[in-house]
Amino acid sequence: MSAKLPARFTDAAAARKHLERLQWPDGPVCPHCGALDRASAIKGGREGLYFCNACRSQYTVTVGTVFERSKIPLNVWLYANHLLCNSKKGISSHQLSRMLGVTYKTAWFLTHRLREAMSPGPKPGPMGGEGKIVEVAETYFGDRDGLPQAKKNKKGVATKRIVVSLVERGGKVRSFHLKGNISKDKARKVLFTNVDRQSDVVTDDHPAYPGAGAHFAQDSSVNHSAGEYVRGDIHTNTIEGVFSVFKRGMVGTYQHCGEQHLQRYLNEFDFRYSNRAKLGIDDACCADLALKGIIGKRLTYRRTDQA
């Protein structure tokens, strides 16, 4: 690694300090009892160890996260995160392995963990709102897993993986891997659980959307199959741009992605789009938001190499 890199990417203690500043802006918070600033630093023990004077237990900033039990130094985690957050079309585990000087398996593990950190979590809150436009569209990408050879690489969408995305114009994107087909029920569930009812919703002409869109302030669609793409404000061009970056990244960078991992890759691309410079979020800030995700989610360790 180059000497010009910030210390948090080259030095584990600096990386720990960085995480502490991010996670504890008002001083250490005990993960066991929630006490704020009742901690004493323990000298001479493990790096970053605190003693809670309220519940008399010990902790570090990484307790309960994947960082805690990982043998990968914290600065390597932070550098991997920085690279992933700032590569528009993603970064392959092979490339990351070369850049970080770690094995391919380690790089693979790192990126899958970081993708989980980028996921919006169980209750991400509604998109859109009064006077805001939310575009809804679907795309088909790659063959579904488990197809017989004769059905692979066929034209048409029947054997393809399905992605439905919602994008708030001038805002964030959220994408969903739907299994099997796009039914009205599935389209409704995605819309109703993610979009504020005050929003203006623009869909394309997929038959799953009519009816669902009627529950929003305004419901418009463009009829792609009749050759219509834009009618004033009514278009899904923003989302088509999102799909295009995703597909170029998946083809150019990732190449092989099992269907069971597709949602994680979607989370990764969504995260970068939703935390882009146009929304006033610079590269370092985007990376810090992902780190807050990994700590905030308190990931438990699982063997991802079996997945």
Q: Which residues sit at the interface with Zn ion, rule CB under 5 A?
A: 30, 32-33, 35, 52, 54-55
Among the listed residues 175, 76, 156, 164, the one whose alpha carbon sits nearest the alpha carbon of residue 118: 175
Distance of CA 188 to the CA centre of its chain: 22
Least separation in angstroms between CB 126 and Zn ion = 35
Least separation in angstroms between CB 26 and Zn ion = 15
Least separation in angstroms between CB 25 and Zn ion = 18
Q: Please give the Cα distance from 122 to 262 (Å, whole number).
A: 17
Q: What radius of gyration, in Å, describes the C-alpha atoms of the chain?
A: 22
Distance of CA 178 to the CA centre of its chain: 17
Least separation in angstroms between CB 42 and Zn ion = 14
Least separation in angstroms between CB 34 and Zn ion = 7
> Cβ closer to Zn ion: 13 or 54?
54
> Cβ closer to Zn ion: 34 or 170?
34
Which helix (H) or strand (E) segment holds residue 220: the answer is: strand 218-221
> Cβ closer to Zn ion: 55 or 281?
55
Alpha carbons within 13 A on the beta-carbon side of 35: 16
Least separation in angstroms between CB 53 and Zn ion = 8
> Cβ closer to Zn ion: 35 or 99?
35
> Cβ closer to Zn ion: 32 or 144?
32
Provide the H-helix boundaries in the chain: 7-10, 12-23, 66-69, 74-85, 93-100, 104-118, 184-194, 237-249, 262-274, 283-296
Q: Please give the Cα distance from 119 to 110 (Å, whole number).
A: 15
> Cβ closer to Zn ion: 46 or 71?
46
